[in-house]
A and B are shown apart, each in its own frame.
Chain A
C-alpha cells in the first residue's frame, strides 16, 4: 500500500532508483566519456541516500503493509553498504583505464549505474519484512553483480567469472526459492511475522525443510562453506574494483539478511537453526584458514580470507542473542574497512608498464621500494589476522565474547584456535613484503585519491578504538531493532 509514511521509510531506495534512472539517461546521451562524472554523481546519490536513512534510524516502522521494514538494523547495514559502494565507484576509473589484461579501454558509464541498482537491491535485502521482498531484492542485487563480474568482457577470466557466478547464483536462487515456497506452504504466510507466529507452536517437518533450504540459499550468498565454491574463481576473475565490491557490500547485505531472517522470521525456532549456523561457521573458519595457505594469487587469497571472515561473523549469529547480533554488525563494519583497504592495496600492485599484477610473489621486497604501501599491507594483514592492537582483533573479540556469554565456549575456543591457523597466511604476505629478496619494482602510486583512501582505512584500523563507543552504541541500537 502506497502511503507517505511508507515512502519516507523507503526513501533511500527511491533516491537510488531515481538517481540510477537519471544517470542512465545521461549515460545514454553523453556516452562513456561522461563515465567519471556519472561516477561522482553516483557517489553523491549514495550520500543523499545515506542521509535519507535518518527516518528509519530514528523511529523506524513497517512500510507497504509489512513488506518492508525501515529500522535501525537496516539503516546500519545500508550505511556500510553505501560506504563500500561509493569507494568501489571511485576506485574504478583508474583500474579500467589501465586496461586490465588486454588493451586500453576507459571505464564504461554503466559501471556506477549498475552499482547503484545493486545498492537498491541490497537495501531491499536488509530491510525485507517479507520473503518476497527478500527474494526480489536478492535478485536485483545478484543480476547487477553477474554483469559487473563479467564487465571486462574481452578478458576471458572476467567472462568466466560472470558465467560461473550466474550459473551458481541461479542455482542458489532456486534453492532459496524452494525453501521459501516450502515455508509458505507450511506456514501459510510469506511475512517474517507470519512465519515466526506459525513456527512458535513447534516446528513441523515441512517447516524444518523450508528452514534448511532457506539457510542453504543464504549461505550461498554469503559464500559460507559448504556453499563457497564459486567465491575464489569469481573473486579472481572479476575486475579488482568489482571484487572489492563483492567482498564488501553484498557480503554485508547478505549477512544482514541472514541475521534478520534467522532472528525475526525463525526466531522461535532458534535451536533448530543454531546447529546449522554453528556448523557453517566452523566449516567456513576451518576451510577459509586451511585452503588459503597454498594460494599464489592475492585475489584468491582474499577470497578465502572472506570465507574465513564470514565464518567468524556467523559465530555471533550462532549465539542467537542481541549481543551476538550487535557483535555481527560491529564485525561487519570493521570487516568492510579492512577488506576495502586490502583491495585498495591490491589495486596499487602494478608492474612498471602500469599493468595490474596479482601474484603474491611480486610483492617481494615491497618495503624497500614503496614503504607506505608496504606498511598499509602490513596493517591490513595484521588486522585481518586479528593481532591485538588493531581493529580486527576487536571484531573477533566481540563475536567470541557473545558466543561465550551464550554458553558456546567450545565454539569460541575453536574459533580462536583456527584464527591462529589463519594468521599463518596473512603473516606470510607480511614476510614476503618485508623480508624477501626484492622482485621487480611496482609503478609509482600515481593516484592521490587511492593513496588517501588507503591512508584513511589504515588510520581507521589503527585508531578505530577511538570510535568504539560510537560503534558499540550503533550496533546495539541495530540489534535492538530486531525482535
Chain B
C-alpha cells in the first residue's frame, strides 16, 4: 500500500515539477523545479528497485548537471521581450517539431501496448537476488577488472598527451618561493635611512 502511495506521490510531484519547470517565468526557478523533478525521478527509480540509477540521478544530475545549469542561467543576461519577439515567424517550425514529438509518443505507446522487447540472447541476465549496485560492482571491479584498470591507463595517457602537447615553461613569471621568503631576515629587507629634508629618496 505504502508503495502505491509513494509512487503516486513521486509521480504527481514529478509531473507538477516538470510543468513548473516549463511555466516558471524566472529561469532560476525553472532550474530549481528541474532539480525537484530529478529528486522525484530518483524516488521512482528506488521504487522499481534500481537504486543505483537513483543514486546516479541524485549525484550526477542534481549534484552536477543541474547546479551547472543554475550557474549558466545566473550568468546569462536574459531579455524576455527579445526571446518572445520571433514567436509568430517560428510558429510553423515549432508546430512541426511538436507534431513530430507527438507522433513519437504515440508510436511509443503503441509499442508499449504490444508487449516488452524479447531479449532472448542476453549475455548478462539481470541477477535475481543481488542488489544492482553489488551486481554492477561485481561486473566492473571483478569480472572486468583488467579492462577497468586499462581504461584508467588510457585516461592517464590522455592526460600526459594533453600536457605534452600544450604545456610550455613560461618565462618572466613571478612565482612565489615560500622558502626564500621565510629565509629573508629583516636586515636584508629593511634599511634605515636618515633622510635629509628637501631631497628625493634614493633607493
Interface residues of A, Cβ cutoff 8 Å to B: 1-2, 6, 10, 17, 20, 24, 63-65, 67-68, 108, 110, 113-114, 117, 120-121, 124, 132-133, 136-137, 139-140, 143-144, 146-147, 150-151, 153, 162, 184, 187-190, 194, 198
Contact = CB atoms under 8 A, between A and B. Distances in A.
Interface in B147-174: 147, 150-151, 153-154, 156-158, 160-161, 163-165
B153 A117 contact: yes
Nearest to B141: A2
Contacts of B142: 1-2
B184 interface: no
CB-CB nearest 6 A-B residue pairs: A188-B121, A147-B161, A64-B146, A136-B150, A110-B164, A143-B157
B165 A150 contact: yes
A110 B160 contact: yes
Contact of B144 (A67, A139, A151, A153): A67
Given A64-B145, A136-B151, A140-B150, A117 B157 contact: yes
B41 to A, nearest CB: 27
Contacts, number: 76
B143 interface: yes
B161 A143 contact: yes
B189 interface: no
8 contacts: A6-B146, A114-B161, A117-B156, A137-B150, A140-B157, A147-B160, A153-B164, A162-B165
Provide the main secondary structure of the chain A interface: helix
Given A147-B164, A147-B165, A190-B123, A136 B147 contact: yes
B54 to A, nearest CB: 27
B164 to A, nearest CB: 5
A65 B143 contact: yes
A68 B147 CA distance: 10
Contact of A132 (B145, B147, B154, B160): B147
Given A136-B150, A194-B123, A147 B157 contact: yes
A67 B146 contact: yes
Contacts of A124: 150
Contacts of B151: 136
Nearest to A159: B165
Nearest to B151: A136
A114 B164 CA distance: 10
B153 A120 contact: yes
Main secondary structure of the interface of B (DSSP, over half): helix
B122 interface: yes
A151 B122 CA distance: 44
Contacts of A132: 144, 147
A148 B153 CA distance: 16
A1 B160 contact: no
A151 B161 CA distance: 9
A224 B156 CA distance: 30
Contacts of A140: 150, 153-154, 157
A151 B163 CA distance: 11
Contacts of B164: 108, 110, 114, 147, 151, 153
A133 B146 contact: yes
Nearest to A67: B146
Nearest to B119: A188
Given A2-B142, A136-B154, A147-B164, 17 more contacts: A1-B142, A10-B146, A63-B146, A64-B146, A65-B143, A114-B157, A114-B160, A124-B150, A132-B147, A133-B147, A136-B151, A140-B150, A143-B157, A144-B161, A146-B161, A147-B161, A188-B121
Counting chain A CB atoms within 10 Å of each CB, the highest count among B122, B151, B157, B164 belongs to B157
B161 to A, nearest CB: 4
A108 to B, nearest CB: 7
Contacts of B161: 114, 143-144, 146-147
Contacts of A150: 165
Nearest to B142: A1
Nearest to B122: A188
A121 to B, nearest CB: 8
A137 B157 CA distance: 12
A304 B123 CA distance: 43
Contact of B123 (A20, A67, A188): A188
A153 B163 CA distance: 12
Contacts of A63: 146
A108 B154 CA distance: 20
Contacts of B160: 24, 110, 113-114, 117, 147
Contacts of A184: 123
Contacts of B153: 17, 20, 117, 120, 140
A146 B160 CA distance: 12
A213 B143 CA distance: 27
Contacts of B156: 117
Contacts of A65: 143
Contacts of A114: 157, 160-161, 164
Nearest to A189: B123
A280 B143 CA distance: 36
A99 to B, nearest CB: 17
B97 to A, nearest CB: 28
Nearest to A20: B153
A272 to B, nearest CB: 20
A93 B147 CA distance: 33
A96 to B, nearest CB: 13
Q: Name, among B121, B154, B158, the residue most crowded by chain A CB atoms within 10 Å (CB to CB).
A: B154
B159 to A, nearest CB: 10
B167 to A, nearest CB: 10
A434 to B, nearest CB: 41
Nearest to A186: B121
B34 to A, nearest CB: 32
Contacts of B122: 188
